[in-house]
Amino acid sequence: MEVDRTDGRTPNQRRPVACTPRILHRAHGSASWTQGKPEREYEMVLKKTLQSICLLNVHPNTTTSIVIQVVNDDGALLPCAINAACAALVDAGIPLKHLAVAICCCMAECGHIFLDPSKIEEQKVKAFVCLVFPNSMVSVLPQGSLRSGGELMEHGIITSVTHGMMAVDDYLRCLKLGRAAAAELSDLSRSSLKLKAGNDPSKAAITRLKTFMTANGNIYIYIYHYLSGLPIFKILFFQIYP
Amino acid sequence: MGGSANGATDLSSEMEVDAFRRLFPLRFHERHLVESVRPDARPLGKSRETSLALGAVGSADGSALAKIGCTTMLAAIKMEVMTPATEAPDEGCVAIDFHMPAICSPIVRPGRPAEAAPVVSKQLSDTILSSGMIDLKQLSLVSGKAAWMAYLDIYCLDADGALFDAALLAAAAAFSHLQIPVVSLNDDGRIVVVSKQNEGEKLKNKPVNEEKRKLKLRSIPFALTCILHKNYILADPTAEEESIMETLITIVLDSSCQLVSLYKPGGPAFAFESVVQDCIALSRQRVRELQTILNEAISDMEVD
């Protein structure tokens, strides 16, 4: 029995990802924002996830402030924010160990698992999982040197946040599916970020205040990275409710 | 002095050990992990001593005090009558809040809420509501007109690691202890709580519910937090271990071993599938331990 999805996607199909760095320079107008409880939790998850991929000791005594503004929430908000924040960090020139690739898997009542739910689908499912994997590492070292205890580095999860009840085996199935999707997504982001990298050698300058905006469909990200004398890493996450 | 690196093995110089612990905390802990033990002499997969006391707060309708090692949580439930929402006319409501007052830890300053508090609060809400422990229909009084609102407040009295585990245990114990008060309809058609003074007299109005009853809880969720550090998995960390080795993974299972939540909020160490399986096995064991402790505490109460 196949799960019918309203937008005609197959269970394993993600929605298309559009990642465009530096397209907007309009002023950030007035925005009404609420800091309800879900925002605090997302902030903590984002902070711990992004902190683990940034190499902050390359530039010591700097403040890295990441502001994430949600304009439209159509489901899978946390993975979208993580993917967008990663692209923004690359764009800002902050040294990273590897990218973080996030995907959302959900389980319907009938037991079928599918990817990247929309808002309506998210409310109807029994459980969903947000998984973040490191992107696959291309290495010049001989094959097998990136394995840890028999498992590839990119199969380890950085972050997992679940919502709703499921059997342990269902969670492991979600992991498998998520891993496959993350591998595909990581190749996509690597190629798209390479294209946009361009020839801008001034990215590493940290003495000036820099603002970058990345639009990933429904999320805007600003990153401020400046010499402040204090090593601070903070995330501010807010949603605009129309 | 040549003693600083070997301080841990030199028993005659107690000060060296404490200094080493403060100056090189990670190395201090790793020296213990190599011997498969932790500074408080626990094996890696063992949790701290857990105790439960039901009915800790006399004025609340349900309460419990849970201690895991030094981490202490006090949970109290207050019931109030409210009108149910139109979409769910025969369901009550549960509001869960987690507080970390300044008493619990030197890191929490008065006037400045702890960072962990709203996160644990939301996690608790999500876990308790999605585990289906409480059947909201049991909280209904008069369909469409009156239902119970249960306010669950959990106070952290001592924060020594594994806050979520202790808070969830305290919440489950408080709901197990909860006795729904007797109410009756008064002349205005409003629901009034029958207070102790009226019990002896003949009641003018028939009570809406005959006697104080307890909630029937469906599968109760239990949590286990583990730390991942290199190849080691440490169950039930203390606050010191949490601050040094930053990767935490919290697994919540219910009594039928269904996964209620698997929460790993980032951190430098990755969780491979084998590690996830090992943590789930440790959690299953812990669920059995906690179930026994909870059942013992309930039967102790009933004997009184």
Q: Is B115 on the interface with A (CB under 8 A)?
A: yes
Residue with tokens 């500074």: B39
> How far is A215 from A203, CA to CA, in rounded Å?
19
Q: By the 8 A CB rule, do A194 and A218 touch?
A: no
Nearest to B247 by CA among A154, A173, A77, A157: A157
pLDDT tens-digit profile, chain B (304 residues): 444 445 445 544 566 888 999 999 999 999 999 999 999 999 999 999 999 999 999 999 999 999 999 999 999 999 999 888 888 888 999 999 999 999 999 989 888 888 889 999 999 999 998 898 999 998 988 888 889 999 999 999 999 999 999 999 999 999 999 999 888 877 776 777 776 544 444 444 555 666 678 888 988 999 999 999 988 999 999 999 999 998 999 999 998 989 999 999 988 889 999 999 999 999 999 999 999 999 999 999 887 6
* pLDDT (average), residues A104-118: 87
Substitution target in B123, B259, B273, B287 with the highest count of A β-carbons within 10 Å is: B259
Q: Is B86 on the interface with A (CB under 8 A)?
A: no
Q: By the 8 A CB rule, do B149 and B80 touch?
A: yes
> How far is A128 from A86, CA to CA, in rounded Å?
22
Sign of the CA dihedral B65, B66, B67, B71? Answer: negative
The shortest C-alpha distance from B52 to chain A (Å) reads 26
Residue B113's contacts (CB-CB under 8 Å, 6 or more residues apart) are B100
> How far is A159 from B281, CA to CA, in rounded Å?
20
The shortest C-alpha distance from A212 to chain B (Å) reads 24
The tens digit of pLDDT for each residue in A3-24 reads 556 666 676 767 766 555 444 4
Q: Does ipTM surpass 0.90 in this model?
A: no
> How far is A123 from A239, CA to CA, in rounded Å?
19
Q: By the 8 A CB rule, do B133 and B221 touch?
A: yes
Contact assignment for B273 to A149 by CB distance below 8 Å: no
> How far is A23 from A16, CA to CA, in rounded Å?
19
> How far is A162 from A240, CA to CA, in rounded Å?
24
Q: Is A57 on the interface with B (CB under 8 A)?
A: no
Contact assignment for B132 to A151 by CB distance below 8 Å: no
Residue with tokens 């970020």: A193
What is the largest distance, in Å, between two alpha-carbon atoms of chain A? Answer: 60
* pLDDT (average), residues A54-58: 85
The shortest C-alpha distance from A109 to chain B (Å) reads 14
- For chain A, what percent of residues have pLDDT higher than 90? 14
Q: Is A163 on the interface with B (CB under 8 A)?
A: yes
First to last CA, chain B: 60
Is the pLDDT confidence value at A209 over 60? no
Substitution target in B262, B275, B282 with the highest count of A β-carbons within 10 Å is: B262
* Three-state SS sequence of chain A: CCCCCCCCCCCCCCCCCCCEECCCCCCCCCCCEECCHHHHHHHHHHHHHHHHHECHHHCCCEEEEEEEEECCCCCCHHHHHHHHHHHHHHHHCCCECCCEEEEEEEECCCCCEEECCCHHHHHHCCEEEEEEEECCCCCCCCCCCCEECCEEHHHCECEEEEECCECHHHHHHHHHHHHHHHHHHHHHHHHHHHHHHCCCHHHHCCCCCCCCCEECCCEEEEEEEEECCCCEEEEEEEEECC
Size of interface A-B (CB pairs under 8 A): 99
Is the pLDDT confidence value at A36 over 90? no
Contact assignment for A161 to B132 by CB distance below 8 Å: no
Q: What is the pLDDT of residue A137?
A: 67
The shortest C-alpha distance from B1 to chain A (Å) reads 30
Q: What is the pLDDT of residue B101?
A: 93
